Structure 1
């Protein structure tokens, strides 16, 4: 790999910027100052030092974000705040993207990565990767609703959903409200809201708490993120 690409990939600037750093003699490879941006390095075995800091090459990045309401699941937008706008400058990379999407008013777990293969595996309709949501509902959910969800529903637009596991967490008869957990195996547009609407109720609050074997940790505040642990990444890949 070219030295300038190595440094740019690791977030030390654009290709043009890192070329300038290299020509100024700020980079060492295996203890020797290198001033050619075309110099070839072995990213996993060569020791690259930039201004005294040793750089460990990392190809793929995986972040777990607790998305707040009011933020859209996009990489950039001229009018709305995006999930990548929540990233600190030192963590931001142009190749990062959200895996799937959460509605603007939906909170919870969102995977941010630059690994296109893993994203495809998680989103492929053939894989049926489970997604679990927690929701507040206006209306009383019933055992009949549980059965209807289990059989699959016809939602708005005459779309047929796959069977989904609905669990009624609690019901407040006096306030005519419910709290539910819902596990889906697909990702139709506004699916949770449309399924609940199909049985005559309305979602008033929605949070995703799980994607596959990756759970939303309780210690990550809304709007915060962190890199996945090795254990979480293995669980997500099903290893």
Structure 2
């Protein structure tokens, strides 16, 4: 790798935005809130841009923080997007990041980035499962050989400091169990061996984990520092551009 290159991983979340510069010594972690006059504006909802102007300011703040640790010109930004994001949603993220960064911008599906950040071998032919529990959207994916093979998402109308609300708990557990059942029968033993890994800021909610263990019938584990799994995975993918390209399908999942 050219020593002059500077890559940045960017996770634009509903509640928190995190950025990490290659070789940086600290992760920038700030609330996804912009103060505009007397109001506090949240430019991201369900992990997607709803206020482009405020999103530009949020991206600028996140990238400014990375320059505290590395002042070289930016060569590339890898930004995470939900699998559920539409083509126009992805375009809004790309436009906002490109305008501020002034360099190549690649988009990566967040749950697959979270799997990489959790230390999973996403190139394995055996299907793996990841449940990414964010503040505005929860996504569960099955992946194999570097690509998502099935996925489902649940958008959240509200979150609390205690984790998912009761209405959302049931929906997330049902969604996850349904995806596990959809796996072809021949792949289930291998999937059981790998289990389900939970990432995201809500990954440690005990009631969620208890219900998952009762319904999904798979070994359940929580990633180390699960709230940082996506941005860690994005940074690792900066070093594996061929894999990052495979993590950017054009289709959206529902």
TM normalised by structure 2 equals: 0.25
Identify the structure with the greater helix proportion.
2
Structure of higher CA gyration radius: 1
Greater relative CO, 1 or 2 (CA 8 Å, sep 6+):
2
TM normalised by structure 1 equals: 0.26
